[in-house]
Structures are given as structure tokens and as C-alpha cells.
């Protein structure tokens, strides 16, 4: 079931207050899934945009995209704050099985977030020429840079949270937080590079798309 951006933000803010309570593994998974939900919803909002979309709608959609990215950044930052106030998963021998399960569920949620966000970013790249035609790419590039920093902070907080022993135990099945971070950094970096291009609007648009060059 999908949640509104406002509901998602409210939930994450309630989770990410370390002075009240540390986050449980279930809350961490819920927080990651809520961010995934925004990415999925944002992807669905952006997908219908096409070269036949009128200029006014393109301008509105560009601002909606920036706003949605800012919501993702705010939510990731709130979750990161909660993680930084949470002690690492217990690594005692009696809790060996439980910590592996907790670590696995967190990494599995992160794997899903990466997949969902990669799909969203692929859509964003696919719409670049439309936004470039109406010269609204600069704000999108700027918010993507902020997103990259927020994702890195989240990954580092998760690495600190999941003990090395637990990370090693789940790595053969799910990979690592670091590999997820690298995959997402690559996707965000490619999107930034695309939106940082200098583009000349085409007088024959949409038959001929704008001409863009890397800076």
C-alpha cells in the first residue's frame, strides 16, 4: 500500500528521534521501505511525461521532481539521524542467529531501495531531453548532488550499525551495504552527469531533440 509523501515524512520523523528511543531493526527496515515508497511513487508520477507534453506542464513537472527529490533527501536524513543514535546490533554469541537475521532484513530492505531508486533514476535520465528543451535541468542537477551526499551518509550509518561479523555472514546471500552504496552512487552520478550537460533547445522539437554537450 502506498503512502503519501506527508505520511512518509511524518513516520520517519517519529522514528528518527534517538533521544526518545533507539531504532529497532523492524523500525529501520520500515524507514528504508518508506523511502523506497517515495521513489516508487515519484517514478510513477514522472513516467507519463513525454515530448508531446506542453511546456507549462514540463515546467511544473520539473518542480515536482525537485520537490520529490527533496522529500527523499529529508527522509533519508531523518532516518540517518535515527541510525546514528542507535547502538550497533548485539554481537553476543547467544544473539548470533538474531543479529544475522536483523542484519539480513536491513540489507534486504536496502537492496530493494537501491533497485527501486535505480529504476527511478533511469526514468529521470530518460526524461532529460524534455527538461533540457525547456531549460529546467539545473535545479534537478543541484538536488541530485544533495541526494548523493545523503545516500552516502545513510550507508555509513548502516555500516556502523551492522557489526562486521553480521555483515560477513549475510554477504554471500545479499552482498554488502558498501556494494549497495557503490551501485547507487554510480546511478546518481550518471544522472548528475546527464543533467549537468549544456543543452541548446531545438527549434524543431520534438522532431529534433536539443543538442547537449558535457561540461
Question: pLDDT digit of tens for each residue in the chain (215 aa)?
Answer: 444 444 444 444 444 434 346 898 889 999 999 999 999 999 999 999 999 999 999 999 999 999 999 999 999 999 999 999 998 876 444 455 555 577 788 888 999 999 999 999 999 999 999 999 999 999 999 999 999 999 999 999 988 887 665 556 556 555 678 888 899 999 999 999 999 999 999 999 999 999 999 97
E strand or H helix at 131: helix 128-133
CB of 116 closer than 8 Å to CB of 41: no
CB of 33 closer than 8 Å to CB of 112: yes
Q: Which CATH architecture group holds 5-213?
A: Up-down Bundle (1.20)
For 176, phi then psi, to 5°, come to -130, 160
Dihedral (CA of 186, 188, 193, 199) sign: positive
Distance CA 156, CA 1 (A): 29
Helix extents (H) in 47-127 = 55-84, 96-126
Amino acid at each position: 500500500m502506498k503512502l503519501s509523501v506527508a505520511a512518509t515524512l511524518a513516520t520517519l520523523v517519529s522514528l528518527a528521534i534517538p533521544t526518545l528511543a533507539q531504532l529497532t531493526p523492524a523500525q529501520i527496515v520500515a524507514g528504508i521501505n518508506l523511502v523506497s515508497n517515495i521513489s516508487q511513487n515519484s517514478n510513477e508520477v514522472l513516467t507519463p511525461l513525454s515530448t508531446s507534453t506542453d511546456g507549462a506542464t514540463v515546467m511544473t513537472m520539473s518542480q515536482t521532481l525537485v520537490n520529490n527529490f527533496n522529500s527523499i533527501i529529508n527522509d533519508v536524513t531523518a532516518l540517518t539521524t535515527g541510525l546514528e543514535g542507535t547502538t550497533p546490533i548485539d554481537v553476543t554469541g547467544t544473539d548470533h542467529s538474531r543479529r544475522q537475521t536483523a542484519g539480513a532484513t536491513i540489507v534486504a530492505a536496502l537492496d530493494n531501495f537501491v533497485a527501486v531508486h535505480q529504476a527511478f533514476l533511469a526514468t529521470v535520465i530518460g526524461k532529460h531531453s524534455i527538461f533540457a528543451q525547456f531549460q529546467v535541468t539545473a535545479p534537478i542537477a543541484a538536488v541530485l548532488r544533495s541526494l548523493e551526499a545523503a545516500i552516502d551518509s545513510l550507508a555509513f550509518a548502516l555500516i556502523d550499525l551492522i557489526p562486521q561479523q553480521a555483515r560477513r555472514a549475510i554477504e554471500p546471500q545479499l552482498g554488502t551495504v558498501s556494494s549497495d552504496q557503490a551501485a547507487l552512487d554510480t546511478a546518481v552520478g550518471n544522472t548528475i552527469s546527464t543533467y549537468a550537460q549544456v543543452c541548446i533547445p531545438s527549434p524543431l522539437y520534438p522532431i529534433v531533440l536539443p543538442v547537449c554537450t558535457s561540461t
